[in-house]
């Protein structure tokens, strides 16, 4: 395990996944916030593993640019990621309920107003925020796609994309922390989370967004072939060079890692570093349409194929995927490497329906009673 600043290791505690250490370190560095986690106390596990095999040891990743043959980080070749400035202002809260929420206002009575997981404005009192971790800055926001009522494609053994993504995100946050990259997840539990709310976390921190990962799910498509080349798709925000290079570096690392795991893999004509607009001339992938800063959507492989999904659902495969994505992000932050895998898709317009997705607010039972006049009006009310 690795604490973001090493203090967790010095204290020698065993208190849950590395994320807990990383989050506690962020909170400690922030100096302010709501009910911070203290490193003097056992750190609560805010990001538990929820899938079979999730606690497997991270393997050596020979394909990574920054992992040495003995499995440790290679300090000489690792990109140097500039540390963040921490000003101590709580911009988002990681709540024990399993969602990360932007802080809209801190009120005089000790409560806070946040943007809830369904996009609504919610007031939480001190009881509701007990155990939360406040974060003032992050290099990256990691968004495990799907969750709650939306399991995504359900693969072998009943594991949905949502569960696989959550585990990948947990491992990714840890792998990033090992590279000096402070990352914040949008959710740490199987809960509903509107796309707008996910993107709002990145906006609140002014941080890039990596969505991980939808999984190409249509091995029966006419253009799909099965072979040795992984069908990794990394979608980037149209017109944004930073998003494109981030996509190229993540793709380069992830495609190499999957190839090293061994195929065959489903591969279709959207494989590569790609972007595409819908009929409304918005990015086809909704998080990219809503984001303002660098953003990519990583589609790892074909969860819809039982054989492929079963190979991806092991602890080793998950750790390698997470490590590869972390390596790509670290190179994006710490080098001028160009990345690879860029493809120009045909300018086909893909019809995307205007989605109205039901959202169950996991915070509904925690919200402070309505009716008390709010003294905060920052003009960021319901979207």
Residue closer to Zn ion by CB (options 152, 341) is 152
For Zn ion, the nearest residue by Cβ is 214
Cα–Cα distance, 235 to 175 (Å, whole number): 22
Q: How far is the CB of 41 from Zn ion (least distance, A)?
A: 37
CB of 276 to Zn ion, least distance (A): 16
Task: Give the nearer residue to Zn ion in terms of CB position, either 161 or 253.
Answer: 161
Examine residue 339 and tell whether it contacts Zn ion (CB under 5 A): no
* Least distance (Å) between residue 239 CB and Zn ion: 24
Residue 286 binds Zn ion (CB under 5 A): no
Kindly give the pairing relationship between strand 233-236 and strand 272-274. Answer: parallel
Task: Restricting to residues 31-60, name those near Zn ion by CB under 5 A.
Answer: none
Residue 108 or 351 having the CB closest to Zn ion: 351
Residue 227 and residue 262: Cα distance in Å, rounded?
A: 10
Taking CB under 5 A as the criterion, which residues in 63-122 touch Zn ion?
Answer: none
114/297 with CB nearer Zn ion = 297
User: Measured from the CB of residue 305, what is the shortest distance to Zn ion in angstroms?
Assistant: 14
Q: In Å, how far are 111, 131, 160, 166, 284 from 306, measured between CA atoms?
A: 47, 39, 12, 19, 27
Q: What's the closest the beta carbon of residue 286 comes to Zn ion, in angstroms? A: 11
Let me know: does 182 contact 137? Beta carbons within 8 Å: yes
Closer to Zn ion by Cβ: residue 180 or 213: 213
Q: 289 is written with which tokens?
A: 């349409």
CB of 150 to Zn ion, least distance (A): 9
Size of residue set near Zn ion by CB under 5 A: 3
| Distance from C-alpha of 340 to C-alpha of 113, rounded to nearest angstrom | 42
Position 214 contacts Zn ion (CB under 5 A): yes
Of residues 293-312, which lie at the interface with Zn ion (CB under 5 A)?
Answer: none
Query: What single DSSP character describes residue 160?
Result: B
How many Cα atoms occupy the beta-carbon half-sphere of 355 within 13 Å? Answer: 13
Residue 364 and residue 123 in contact, taking contact as beta carbons nearer than 8 Å: no
CA 312 to centroid of chain Cα atoms:
18
Half-sphere exposure of residue 238: CA atoms within 13 angstroms, side-chain side: 15
User: In the bound complex, what is the minimum distance in angstroms from residue 214's beta carbon to Zn ion?
Assistant: 3
- Binders in 115-174 for Zn ion, by CB under 5 A: 152, 161
Q: How far is the CB of 20 from Zn ion (least distance, A)?
A: 27
Q: Which is nearer to Zn ion, 187 or 214 (by Cβ)?
A: 214
Instruction: Report d(CA 83, CA 206) in Å as an integer.
Output: 15
Cα–Cα dist 351/349, whole Å = 6
User: What are the structure tokens assigned to 255, written together?
Assistant: 């495609």
How far apart (Å, rounded) are the C-alpha atoms in residues 342 and 332?
15
Which CB sits closer to Zn ion, 28 or 145?
A: 145
Which tokens belong to 198?
């996910």
CB nearer to Zn ion: give 36 or 308.
Answer: 308
In angstroms, what is the minimal distance from the CB of 257 to Zn ion?
Answer: 20
State how beta strands 225-227 and 272-274 pair.
unpaired
Rounded CA separation 84/55 (Å):
29
* Distance of closest approach, residue 162 Cβ to Zn ion, in angstroms: 8
Q: Rounded CA gap, 142 and 134, in Å?
A: 16
Q: Which of residues 161 and 305 has its CB atom nearest to Zn ion in the complex? A: 161
**How remote is the C-alpha of 378 from its chain's centroid?**
27
Kindly tell me which of 168 and 181 has the beta carbon lying closer to Zn ion.
168
Return the SS3 of 149: coil
Residues that bind Zn ion (CB under 5 A): 152, 161, 214
């Amino acid at each position: 395990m690795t604490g973001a600043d090493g203090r967790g290791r010095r204290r020698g505690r065993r208190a849950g996944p590395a994320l807990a250490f990383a989050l506690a370190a962020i909170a400690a560095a922030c100096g302010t916030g709501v009910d911070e986690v203290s490193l003097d106390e056992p750190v609560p596990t805010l990001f538990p593993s929820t899938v079979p095999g999730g606690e497997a040891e991270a393997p050596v990743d020979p394909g990574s640019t920054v992992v040495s043959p003995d499995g440790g980080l290679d300090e000489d070749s690792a990109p140097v990621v500039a540390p963040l400035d921490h000003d101590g202002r709580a911009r988002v809260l990681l709540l024990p309920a399993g969602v990360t929420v932007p802080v809209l206002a801190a009120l005089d009575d000790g409560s806070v107003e946040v943007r809830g997981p369904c996009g609504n404005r919610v007031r939480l009192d001190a009881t509701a925020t007990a155990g939360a971790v406040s974060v003032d800055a992050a290099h990256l926001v990691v968004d495990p796609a799907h969750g709650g009522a939306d399991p995504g494609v359900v693969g072998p053994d009943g594991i949905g994309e949502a569960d696989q993504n959550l585990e990948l995100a947990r491992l990714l946050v840890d792998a990033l922390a090992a590279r000096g990259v402070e990352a914040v997840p949008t959710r740490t539990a199987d809960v509903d989370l509107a796309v707008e709310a996910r993107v709002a976390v990145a906006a609140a921190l002014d941080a890039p967004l990596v969505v991980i990962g939808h999984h190409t799910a249509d091995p029966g498509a006419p253009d799909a072939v099965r072979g040795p080349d992984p069908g990794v798709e990394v979608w980037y925000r149209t017109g944004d060079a930073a998003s494109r290079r981030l996509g190229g570096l993540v793709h380069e690392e992830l495609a190499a890692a999957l190839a090293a795991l061994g195929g065959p893999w489903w591969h279709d004509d959207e494989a590569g570093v790609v972007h595409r607009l819908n009929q409304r001339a918005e990015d086809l992938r909704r998080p990219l349409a809503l984001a303002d800063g660098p953003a990519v959507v990583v589609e790892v492989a074909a969860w819809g194929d039982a054989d492929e999904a079963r190979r991806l659902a092991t602890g080793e495969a998950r750790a390698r995927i997470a490590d590869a994505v972390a390596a790509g992000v670290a190179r994006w932050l710490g080098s001028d490497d160009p990345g690879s895998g860029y493809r120009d898709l045909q300018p086909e317009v893909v019809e995307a329906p205007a989605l109205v997705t039901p959202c169950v607010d996991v915070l509904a039972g925690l919200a402070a009673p309505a009716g008390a006049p709010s003294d905060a009006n920052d003009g960021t009310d319901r979207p």
